[in-house]
A and B are shown apart, each in its own frame.
Chain A
Amino acid sequence: DIQMTQSPSSLSASVGDRVTITCRASQSISSYLNWYQQKPGKAPKLLIYTASSLQSGVPSRFSGSGSGTDFTLTISSLQPEDFAAYFCQQSYSAPLFTFGQGTKLEIK
């Protein structure tokens, strides 16, 4: 299986900060990398697909980049509603999908 490793596992930041979360794959996955946001008690919500495409309805302060093994999710200016957990997920080895362990973004 392709292992997905996110860093950091948790992060404290303030409203207005620029935040970057990293996801590394154990082998090249081209651009088949998706990012999700999850709030407590809710299902994951798709933010970014194929590494850099913004899902419809998602604010433009979210962006994704990368290819191969290294990927980043950037939030340009944190808003109060952005404090949540974030997960990456690879589709390169479909249907053997795997997820990162998550990054918890907390208010400083």
Chain B
Amino acid sequence: DIQMTQSPSTLSASVGDRVTISCRASQSISGSLAWYQQKPGKAPNLLIYKASSLESGVPSRFSGSGSGTEFTLTISSLQPDDFATYYCQQYYTYATFGQGTKLEIK
């Protein structure tokens, strides 16, 4: 099974900050990676697919990069609506999610 490890588990930041969340795969997954945002009591929402493709309707401050085993989600300028939990997911072999990164207000 492919394991996905996100870091950090919790991130404290302020509105306007640039933040980066990392996701590492236990083996190469090429570019088969998606990122989701989840708010409390809600279903996850797709942000990025194919590692760097921005889903339609998602603000351009979100971006994804990486390939192979190392991936990054970047939010260029944090907005109040961005405080949530973020998950990466590989779909190279079946599917596996990272454990999540909770983005908190500093």
Partners in one complex: no
A residues near B, CB below 8 A? none
